[in-house]
Amino acid sequence: MGKFPAFLLLPFLCFFHSLFLSDADVTGNSSDPGLTLSAESLCAQLIEPNGYFCTEHTVQTKDGYLLALQRVSSRSGDLKVQQGHPVLLQHGLFMAGDAWFLDSTEQSLGFILADQGFDVWVGNVRGTRWSHGHISLLDTDKEFWEWSWQELALYDLAEMLHYIHAITSSKIFIVGHSQGTIMSLAVLTQPDIVEMVEAAALLSPISYLEHVSAPLVLRMVAMHLDQMVLALGLHQLNFRSDVLVNLVDSLCDDHVDCTDFLSSITGQNCCFNKTRMNFYLEYEPHPSSVKNLRHLFQMIRQGTFSHYDYGILKNLLIYGQFKPPAFDLNNIPKSLPIWMSYGGNDALADATDVQRTLEELSSKPELLYLDNYGHIDFLLSVKANRDIYDHMIGFFRSLEKSSSY
């Protein structure tokens, strides 16, 4: 078939979601050692221009990455006396914290939660534009990209939760989309982390990927795109580079109709506003690592929700066993409230895999099923505020009534 349009890469990146690291000034003058100031920050570019109060924070992980966190309150609020419950928004793959603010203030979840009085915290994982690199590695170093969603969960998300809990002295609501739900479910299996979490709300929830039905994704897995990229000597995934655009383009042949690129990756989205694509591309995509893509492909090929598979010999050295250990969903406490929303047209977070997740959890999450929603709709639908976010906020409110700070 014909070549796919390069500008349609964003929908693909929303899941497998350029060297975009900014030259942000990370030397703040606040009494809070994590507070940072920068004219190139997410606060300055997307949040404050809409009239919202926003501060920048830097969190250092155990392995030396410097992550950006933004704290947002409503246009009528005051961050110094923020009274609402803390909510951490965790973005998906090839995206960053800006993903929660790409539409109008009435449609974007980050703005909506702030206007509802929540203490909104916005996570940005390592390697993304808003985060600040590493204490000793450069983003041109191979070692800088030696991580997958396993580290994003156990180091990045874990450290952000520790930081927010220390600042607010409150348990935290987690909201994740796509890879953000993989990270959330993985980190919630850790007893020392889950005690800081009040509840989790998961959009397009993923722990298993065995039943992915997106034609182009399956084509990439079958053609071993991850191995192709490694063979080119790449360790960072930069989908603004001609090399990777052309490589993905080469997979579009008689097997996949790339003229309908969006649905070939995500499933048919009912409510995504394609007219805003050029604006979205001002911020997306953000980089990720080849190792991360390989880990996701392992999930598809093996039907597992496990640590990274290095092969038998290295698994023995690292894990002490032939196969990588699984993230046991049954370890997530039954007492932890969980809310999930998934769609009938989502070709990535397939309903069969969602059902397997539900069967392995010890709790019974609250569910919102939307038959006509695809993968992107949960983040960028023009109707998501009514279709999804009102229900999520109602879930949070019911928990606030029964909890004390």
Which phi-psi region, left, alpha or beta, contains residue 366 (left: φ > 0; alpha: ψ -120 to 50)? Answer: beta
Taking the C-alpha atoms of residue 112 and residue 390, their distance in angstroms, rounded to an integer, is 9
Q: Which two tokens stand for residue 50?
A: 């809409």
Q: How many CB atoms lie within 10 A of CB 127?
A: 28
Give a three-class secondary structure readout of 79-137. Answer: HHHCCCCEEEEECCECCCHHHHHCCCCCCCHHHHHHHCCCEEEEEECCCCCCCCCECCC
Which amino acid does the sequence have at 282?
E
Nearest partner of 328 among 294, 301, 362, judged by Cα? 362
E-only strand ranges, 204-318: 236-237, 288-289
Taking the C-alpha atoms of residue 117 and residue 321, their distance in angstroms, rounded to an integer, is 48
Indicate which residues carry an active-site annotation. Answer: 178, 346, 375
Taking the C-alpha atoms of residue 237 and residue 102, their distance in angstroms, rounded to an integer, is 22
